[in-house]
């Protein structure tokens, strides 16, 4: 029989390993499984808007709003959504925004083989480059989950990992709550994460996101924060 104290010690160690692993896989500042950034310099009063899971038909409404407000953004596209809406993907780059790779089919990378992950990243890279006219230089994994092999895959594809400083939970919350949450987490150097799609939904309702962005732009500007491109805040080189 194992003495109670020793058993507790083993359980405690197992718990610590699990906590460390969870951090390595999902922690926004973790870089063990793949290097990434989650914020720019705190010295500049600038924030970067980023959108995941597009393109979708709703992206066009977002592009209109960003153009009127002269706000740049970075769009982390899913390859499968780009195949559905290639003209929307082209419109994003035509409007001068930056693009990133958000995998082909938005799978959870945990417990997947490096070969599977590489296939997802490369296929998205090809599809996006063809539709948008330029290959992405940024990568954000679905659900923010990194896994073994991703470090090398990112390096070989010339991609820099990008997490976020604050995520809006705009797939779940109403616009006011999303705006409040993002405004609270925003500050100099913040990378803000919202969604112009909902994973692989073909034409999702993104009105909460659009409304939240409409509210956030003046709110953050009032606080002296300027909207900047992701690459002006974070060097895209790996």
Give me the residues that bind Zn ion (CB under 5 A), please.
52-53, 142
Nearer to Zn ion, 139 or 188 (CB): 139
Nearer to Zn ion, 75 or 148 (CB): 75
Q: How far apart are CA 12 and CA 155, in angstroms?
A: 36
* β-bridge partners, 162: 37
Choosing from 102, 195, 196, 205, the catalytic residue is 195
Alpha carbon separation from 175 to 85, 143, 169, 181, 209 (Å, rounded): 25, 21, 10, 10, 6
Which residue matches tokens 């002269």? 70
Q: Cβ of residue 119: shortest distance to Zn ion, in angstroms?
A: 18
Question: Is 52 an annotated catalytic residue?
Answer: yes
- Smallest Cα–Cα separation from 211: which of 190, 167, 180? 180
Q: Cβ of residue 8: shortest distance to Zn ion, in angstroms?
A: 39
* 226 within 8 A of 47, measured Cβ to Cβ: yes
Q: Cβ of residue 222: shortest distance to Zn ion, in angstroms?
A: 29
User: Which are the catalytic amino acids?
Assistant: 52, 195
């Amino acid at each position: 029989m194992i003495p109670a104290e020793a058993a507790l010690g083993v359980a405690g160690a197992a718990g610590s390993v699990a906590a460390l692993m969870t951090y390595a896989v999902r922690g926004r500042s973790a870089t063990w499984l793949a290097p990434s950034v989650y914020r720019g310099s705190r010295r500049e009063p600038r924030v970067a808007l980023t959108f995941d899971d597009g393109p979708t038909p709703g992206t066009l409404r977002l592009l209109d709003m960003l153009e009127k407000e002269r706000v740049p953004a970075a769009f982390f596209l899913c390859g499968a959504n780009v195949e559905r809406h290639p003209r929307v993907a082209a419109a994003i780059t035509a409007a001068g925004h930056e693009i990133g790779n958000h995998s082909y089919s938005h799978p959870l990378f945990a417990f997947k083989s490096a070969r599977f992950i590489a296939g997802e990243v490369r296929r998205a890279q090809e599809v996006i480059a063809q539709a948008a006219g330029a290959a992405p230089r940024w990568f954000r994994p679905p659900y923010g989950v990194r896994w073994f092999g991703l470090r090398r895959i990112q390096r070989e594809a010339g991609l820099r990992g990008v997490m976020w400083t604050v995520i809006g939970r705009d797939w779940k919350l109403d616009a006011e709550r999303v705006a409040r949450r993002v405004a609270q987490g925003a500050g100099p150097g913040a990378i803000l994460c919202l969604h112009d799609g909902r994973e692989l939904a073909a034409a999702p309702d993104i009105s909460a996101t659009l409304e939240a962005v409409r509210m956030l732009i003046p709110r953050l500007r009032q606080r002296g924060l300027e909207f900047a491109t992701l690459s002006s805040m974070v060097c895209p080189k790996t």
